[in-house]
Amino acid sequence: MNSSNSSEKINNDSIDDIGNRSSVTIIGLGPMGKAMVSAFLNRGYEVTVWNRTSSKAIELVTKGAIRASSVNEALASNELVILSLTDYDAMYAIFESVSDELSGKVIVNLSSDTPEKVREAAKWLSERGAWQLTGGVLASPSEIGNRESITLYSGPSDIFDAHRKTLEVLTGTDYKGKDPGLAMLYYQIQMDVFWTAMLSYLHAVSVAQANGITAKQFLPYVSEILYTMPKLLEFYSPRIDTGTYHGDVEKLAMGLASIEHVVHTSKEAGVDSSLPAAVQDVFKRGIALGRADESFISLIEIFKQSGAQP
Ligand code: NDP
């Protein structure tokens, strides 16, 4: 059975029925899974939990969760099963021995992985009669239960619609489409920006600290530069999409001179300069391609070329 055929078999009545159930199974009790269990309990849901390390369920049981004694029992308790695991390999590790019990289940996988692994998992589940909704949680555990946080979802739209209300106990939802990999792709490209930006922040703080400036003293200045970013992105994104690289302001040659100063300031401070040096290297490659007079956004072509290399 594949997921599209399966979803066609669910008529509107049974979708409503599933959507209205106020019980759910959660597998995976790391910081995120625990926060999700608490959010459902706070909203009066009956929550069945299972975790490889069963002791992690103790505290949740005292709050009202039901600890399943086996994965089979956890699956049997509810049609809606939420996974919060380190990655998708963990899902196979848990489900492989019980794959006969997956038929008819809606598996909402909120674990992180690559879009391709997510698509493979959706196929694997569909071959066992289950549906997968992929989720990318754009929130920390402390933000779970807050509708202002967002989780990106993709997968069969009727299955998502049937469970949206329940999933919105955790966070607000943003449905990206039926391709199961899509939510994960959006999630990973946001993480791409997040981690690179956070590490550049840490690098700048180390240069500040090496000069006797604390992270707190630096805070208003770093906040100011980040505050300008949305406007810059709004300006540049249509130009990036149309490949309009003529350099009016931020010419690539000027950018190289600027990042060189950053690298030297870092070295003067005795701080590891590998991060700005990597940025400097990309600028140099752009110059080598004859793009010195173009806007720095033409550096996107460097990334595209590198991606095409074996
Ligand atoms: P953890 O890595 O702390 O918890 C992972 C869970 O996965 C644990 O329950 C662990 O079980 C289980 N697990 C890992 N490997 C296996 C395996 N081979 N077999 C069975 N169970 C396994 O992660 P978090 O709770 O922090 O996060 C969960 C997911 O949410 C991750 O994919 C993460 O990227 C994502 N996320 C996390 C955020 C955060 O701030 N924490 C923010 C946004 C997304 P055991 O307890 O037995 O080790």
Ligand 1 pocket, mutate which of 86, 112, 117, 138 (most atoms under 8 A from CB)? 86
CA of 85 to the centre of ligand 1 (A): 4
For ligand 1, atom 39: residue with the closest CA: 140
3-178 classified as CATH 3.40.50.720: yes
CB distance 10 to ligand 1 below 6 Å:
no
Residue range(s) of every CATH 1.10.1040.10 domain in the chain = 186-304
Which one has a higher pLDDT value, 7 or 129? Answer: 129
* Distance of alpha carbon 136 from alpha carbon 184, whole angstroms: 6
Listed in order, the ranges of the chain carrying CATH 3.40.50.720 are 3-178
pLDDT at 307: 59
Return the CATH number of the domain spanning residue range 186-304.
1.10.1040.10
Q: Which pLDDT tens digit goes with each residue over 255-272?
A: 999 999 999 999 999 999
Q: Answer yes or no: is pLDDT of 3 > 80.
A: no
Q: Smallest Cα–Cα separation from 185: which of 222, 135, 226?
A: 135
* Interval 107-132 mean pLDDT: 98
Predicted pLDDT at 305: 84
Give the per-residue pLDDT at 246.
Answer: 86
Q: For the segment 207-236, what is each residue's pLDDT rounded down to a tens digit?
A: 999 999 999 999 999 999 999 999 999 999
pLDDT band for 157, please (50, 70, 90 cuts): very high
User: Is residue 136 within 6 Å of ligand 1 at its C-beta?
Assistant: no
Q: In sequence order, what are the residues at sequence separation of 6 or more whose Cβ sits closer than 8 angstroms to the Cβ of residue 109?
A: 83, 85, 88, 91, 118, 121, 132, 133, 134, 135
What integer pLDDT is reported at residue 28 of this predicted model?
Answer: 98
Phi, psi of 82 (to 5 degrees): -100, 130
Instruction: Indicate whether residue 109 lines ligand 1 (CB < 6 A).
Output: no
87: CA distance to ligand 1 center in Å? 7
> Regarding predicted confidence, which is higher, 302 or 14?
302
Question: Nearest C-alpha to atom 2 of ligand 1 is from which residue?
Answer: 86
pLDDT of residue 18: 43
Q: How many CB atoms lie within 10 A of CB 120?
A: 16
